[in-house]
Amino acid sequence: MILILGASGRIGGYLFDRFKQAGADVVGTYCNNGKDGLLHFDLETMTLSDLDLKPDHVIFGAAANPRPELSKNADDSYKANVPRTIELIDACFDRGIVPIYISTDNVYDGRKGNYDETNATGPLNNYGKMKCEVEAHLLSSTKPYILLRMGKIFGIDDTLLLETYNNLLEGIEQPYATDQIFTPTYAEDLYECMSAVIDEQFTGTLHLGSTEATTRYELAERMKAYFGMDVQLIPAKINELGLSEPRPLKIDLNTNKYRKLTGKKNRELEYFMEKIITGIDPDLWERNSSGQSLAYFAKTKQVTVSRELLDALIRCSAEMGNINARFCLHADPEDNLQDMVILARRDSTCRKPHKHKAGMEAIQMIEGKALAVIFDEDQNLIDRRVLEPDGEFAYRNEKGRYHIYLPLTDYMVQREIRDWKNEPGETVPPDWADWQEVMSRHLGPEDLECRNASCTKPCRFRDDG
């Protein structure tokens, strides 16, 4: 059995839910924030005997005023966070239970950086000092324990990635520290590490991390570039931001021991931007923004697109300025069968028709409405019809015919299948003397009006006003 003290809190709650989902024998406690399925346990007044349980491991996820910015209230939190925690750890030792203590990179003074598990500690703030005192008790013991040190944990009510993203999205100009170097830890990696050390009966100290060391400024800069945001970043020194206590600077952790034990590899920050911010799994989809629209290519042969995934693409498109976007179900642009789920915005779709040399294409409407307009080589209108999921929803167009599918709603989603690979020169614009005049002969101004202000091609349909 696994007992999690503080399973109503941020980290303890995440671990409890994940162990529960995995079918583990797990029990969680709460103190002030009641939650279904948890037992009441007051860290300051109760003992393990009050719970009448026989766990193999106890995860210490409970704390009073645990965050660094609250550590100035040391007098209020010291009793629970240090002597009471130590008493509970000793109770674990007496009962043959392995305590698992979650600590922090703030136990270091930040002068050296790249700290491994053997380096001496020297905390600068009360938060680090309290953690360090409990650590010292564990390290002096001859009984088995697990001590996990980590930097900022993200992926739970995320303040590291999501808060930064939302600030950038809203154009909020604020300072980002350039001088504090830390090693972020993804919450799921923490859970998987917990599960591994329990299953493998590991004891001792481990440093966790999910990415290479970074700063808040670097993270914001890479996020800004990745999502194409135009907002000013203000570089700052962390200890000039008016914080209650000094922060250590170089607190990046050496995670070689953790990686050797678990087989985990570092992932880029952009990997987590996809996973957490867009909700599009980077293990299944590879992002490509080099073309005219944002594209995600499938990484596996067996692939599905769900309503949830489509909603994530629509949301991502909107937040990036209503750009066009697509899922490419084919894993390679060189595949002979091009199979795509395409999101096209009314105000981001060019009004110029085109044709394909090699093969035919077929589309199926998933959401919204589109006006299909087909021409022959001599500028004659062959077909014009409205496509929508509840009406004529599937359409096939032969090769060599000029065509365009114009969204009639704010956006449309269609599945498009082509029986040819998209080689250079395969898509051909019309060689008509005045293609805009041809379009105006057959379509009204409401269908032809383009509001794509970012387009630089000369076109009288665009509303630059």
Parent domain of 372? 279-448
DSSP letter assigned to residue 76 = H
Evaluate whether residue 202 is within a structural domain. Answer: yes
Least confident of 156-165, 227-236, 293-302: 156-165
- What pLDDT, on the 0 to 100 scale, is given for residue 138? 96
Domains held by the chain: number: 2
Higher pLDDT: 325 or 444? It is: 325
Tens digits of residue pLDDT in 241-262: 988 899 999 999 999 999 999 9
Q: Are residues 54 and 202 in the same domain?
A: yes
Q: Are residues 263 and 336 in the same domain?
A: no
Evaluate whether residue 64 is within a structural domain. Answer: yes
Across-strand partners of 102?
A: 148
- What pLDDT, on the 0 to 100 scale, is given for residue 284? 94
Q: Are residues 315 and 261 in the same domain?
A: no
- Beta carbons within 8 Å of 16's beta carbon, 6+ residues apart: 4, 7, 26, 28, 38
Q: Are residues 264 and 336 in the same domain?
A: no
CATH number at residue 309: 2.60.120.10
- Nearest to residue 91, comparing CAs of 53, 41, 48? 48
- What pLDDT, on the 0 to 100 scale, is given for residue 73? 54
Q: Are 297 and 286 in contact (CB under 8 A)?
A: yes
Evaluate whether residue 462 is within a structural domain. Answer: no
Average pLDDT, the chain: 89
Structure tokens belonging to residue 152: 């900022």
Q: Are residues 263 and 324 in the same domain?
A: no
Q: How confident is the model at residue 465 (pLDDT cuts 50, 70, 90)?
A: very low
Burial class (CB in 10 A: 0-12, 13-18, 19+), 408: middle
- What pLDDT, on the 0 to 100 scale, is given for residue 55? 94
Query: What is the identity of the amino acid at 89?
Result: I
Q: Are 238 and 247 in contact (CB under 8 A)?
A: yes
Q: Are residues 86 and 142 in the same domain?
A: yes
Residue 447: count of CB within 10 angstroms of its CB: 17
Mean pLDDT, to the nearest integer, of 222-227?
93
Place of tokens 């980077």: 282
Q: Are residues 188 and 308 in the same domain?
A: no
Mean pLDDT, to the nearest integer, of 180-209?
95
The pLDDT > 90 percentage for the chain reads 66
CATH number at residue 201: 3.40.50.720
- What pLDDT, on the 0 to 100 scale, is given for residue 70? 45
- What pLDDT, on the 0 to 100 scale, is given for residue 204? 95
Distances (CA, A) of 246 to 23, 36, 128, 215: 42, 39, 11, 16
Q: Are residues 189 and 298 in the same domain?
A: no
Mean pLDDT, to the nearest integer, of 315-327?
90
- What pLDDT, on the 0 to 100 scale, is given for residue 65? 45
- What pLDDT, on the 0 to 100 scale, is given for residue 359? 76
- What pLDDT, on the 0 to 100 scale, is given for residue 463? 63
Evaluate whether residue 162 is within a structural domain. Answer: no
Give CA–CA dist 217/237, Å, rounded. 10
Q: Are 56 and 2 in contact (CB under 8 A)?
A: yes
- What pLDDT, on the 0 to 100 scale, is given for residue 428? 87
Structure tokens belonging to residue 218: 């670097």
Give CA–CA dist 84/46, Å, rounded. 9
Q: How confident is the model at residue 183 (pLDDT cuts 50, 70, 90)?
A: very high
Kindly tell me if the per-residue pLDDT of 278 is higher than 80.
yes
Q: How confident is the model at residue 445 (pLDDT cuts 50, 70, 90)?
A: confident
Kindly tell me if the per-residue pLDDT of 13 is higher than 60.
yes
- Beta carbons within 8 Å of 343's beta carbon, 6+ residues apart: 310, 313, 314, 317, 324, 325, 326, 411, 412, 413
- Beta carbons within 8 Å of 79's beta carbon, 6+ residues apart: 44
- What pLDDT, on the 0 to 100 scale, is given for residue 67? 53
Evaluate whether residue 228 is within a structural domain. Answer: no
Tens digits of residue pLDDT in 369-390: 999 999 999 999 999 999 999 9
- What pLDDT, on the 0 to 100 scale, is given for residue 280? 94
What is the torsion angle, in degrees rounded to the nearest 10, for the CA atoms of residue 194, residue 198, residue 204 and residue 207? -20
Q: How confident is the model at residue 212 (pLDDT cuts 50, 70, 90)?
A: very high
- What pLDDT, on the 0 to 100 scale, is given for residue 36? 83
Evaluate whether residue 107 is within a structural domain. Answer: yes
Evaluate whether residue 463 is within a structural domain. Answer: no
Q: Are residues 198 and 313 in the same domain?
A: no
Tens digits of residue pLDDT in 427-440: 888 988 898 899 89
Q: Are residues 431 and 391 in the same domain?
A: yes
Evaluate whether residue 274 is within a structural domain. Answer: no
* Residues written for the chain: 465
Tens digits of residue pLDDT in 47-105: 999 998 999 999 998 654 445 444 555 566 888 889 999 999 999 999 999 999 999 99
Mean pLDDT, to the nearest integer, of 31-37?
82
Structure tokens belonging to residue 211: 């990415």
- Nearest to residue 370, comparing CAs of 409, 421, 314, 417? 409
Q: Are residues 201 and 298 in the same domain?
A: no
Q: Are residues 108 and 27 in the same domain?
A: yes
Kindly tell me if the per-residue pLDDT of 326 is higher than 70.
yes
Mean pLDDT, to the nearest integer, of 26-54?
88
Mean pLDDT, to the nearest integer, of 197-216?
95
- Beta carbons within 8 Å of 113's beta carbon, 6+ residues apart: 181, 213, 250, 251, 252
